[in-house]
Amino acid sequence: MEKQKTISKEVSYSGTGLHTGNNVSIKLKPATENTGIIFVRTDMPDKPKIKADISNVLTTVRGTTVGLDEKTSVHTVEHLLATLFTFGIDNLIIEMDSNEPPIADGSALPFVELIKKAGITELSAEKKCFNLKDAVVYKNGDVLITAIPSDKFHISCTIIYNHPLLKSQFLSLDITPEIFEKEIAPARTFCFDYEIEALKNKGLAKGGSLDNAVVIGEKKILTKLRFEDEFVRHKILDLIGDISLLGSSLKMEITAVKCGHKNNVEFAKKIASSGNTAQLSEHEKILWHIPDGKIIDINEIKATIPHRYPFLFIDKVILVEEAKRAVGIKNVSAGEFYFQGHFPEQPIMPGVLIVEAMAQTAAVLFLSKPELRNKKLAYFMSINNVKFRKPVFPGDILHLDVEVVKAKQTTGIVKGCGYVNGKPTTEAEFGFVLVDKP
């Protein structure tokens, strides 16, 4: 099986955002397996993290924006994401001191050069691969995008415009790093001259110029073309970037007619919900199924840690790797005592109790060792980097994935993440100390 990848060393790049016009510096940093592609807004309080995922798409107006909300977002991510996807980068931290990557020359070529400068490192975990089982067809008016199963990633794209200088163009090719670098990455974003004023009235294209966009006038193209069919090549670039938000290596043959960001994203969502199941990594299987490992039931949990109703927040623990990793399971019942006040009209599990449930899972992980059971207690020492991503409601099954980051004889640091239906709800790191039981 193909392995996940990250970059070998940190690299940085600075420039101006196409639509915001903001000056921005980005740093690409290596990340561990199963991290995914994470944008970090270093210019905002608490440095919020935004995962490059189809579920986080906020808008597709003249580019693709991902974020947690309108303020906590990153604009025009498609060129960078297309490059990372094509070069097989699964895990990466992208630190940004503004809200839009540099447009550079309007193409993805500067990002290709950045990745080549950083180098690529193979990790130990298996790559997630989305292998279609059945055809997927998306139609919206005269827009048609289809995908069929294949043993490679191939795109055929047709664009159709009613303009004397730009009518129809077609291109069909395999998407590999070599082909991408030579045939797709250099293709620049484009617009018609009559669109510029309207874009600026909408607060867009503030950083646009003839240096970073191909502008098509009524009687001539105002920018020298790199390819005679540069326009269809750029549409393929955008399509790759948008569909990469599925978060997988893709094995399929895509045919697209009159595609654009909005329809690309809707097409990707249709693939995600089509019943075509991706191959999950071992880490991701934990989020959807009961993983392999020793199961500790509620009676053994009570024999291991001192917590009792109403402050016992886990129903089962699976020891995935002894003294290293465990998954706690909490069946969130509508009868939980705290829902009486949190909140009567909109019951939501308190975030602090989710963190407490993580800590209880970690305590079981450590104290289930025979030499420690009934001899030690685990106490909190610190709680850091807590993030609440999505609420947890009555009826949810909460998975609490905890992993030891650092451990000494009696102290350590644990990283935890809560999930419902595979979607992260809560993240936290906490320190602990083991003390003698009275």
Query: pLDDT tens across 280-323, in order?
Result: 444 444 444 456 678 888 888 998 999 998 999 998 898 988 88
Q: pLDDT tens digit string along 245-267?
A: 998 888 899 999 999 999 999 99
* Active site members: 261, 342
* Residue 340 DSSP symbol: G
Q: Are 403 and 358 in contact (CB under 8 A)?
A: no
- Sign of dihedral through CA atoms 30, 35, 38, 42? negative
pLDDT for the residue 218: 81
Q: ∠ CA 18-227-160 to the nearest 5 degrees?
A: 75
Nearest partner of 143 among 51, 38, 260, 13, judged by Cα: 260
Nearest partner of 260 among 11, 124, 62, 13, judged by Cα: 62
Q: What's the rounded Cα separation, in Å, for the pair 6 and 28? A: 10
Percentage of the chain exceeding pLDDT 70: 95
Average pLDDT over residues 400-418: 89
Average pLDDT over residues 320-349: 87
Q: pLDDT tens digit string along 9-38?
A: 999 999 998 877 789 999 999 999 989 999
Q: What's the rounded Cα separation, in Å, for the pair 323 and 201? A: 58
> CA dist 28 to 84, 91, 119, 304, 369, Å?
11, 10, 11, 43, 40
Decide which of 201 and 180 is more confident.
Answer: 180
Confidence of residue 278 (pLDDT cuts 50, 70, 90): very low
412's tokens? 């350590």
pLDDT for the residue 414: 93
Domains of the chain: 3-279 (3.30.1700.10), 286-436 (3.10.129.10)
* Residue 228 DSSP symbol: T
Q: What's the rounded Cα separation, in Å, for the pair 93 and 100? A: 15
pLDDT for the residue 291: 62
Q: Are 68 and 56 in contact (CB under 8 A)?
A: yes
3-state SS string over 276-339?
CCCECCHHHHHHHCCCCCEEECHHHHHHHCCCCCCCCCCCEEEEEECCCEEEEEEECCCCCHHH
DSSP string of 37-69? EEEEETTSTT--EEE--GGGEEE-SSS-EEESS
pLDDT for the residue 258: 92
Percentage of the chain exceeding pLDDT 90: 55
Q: Are 60 and 3 in contact (CB under 8 A)?
A: no
pTM above 0.85, yes or no: no
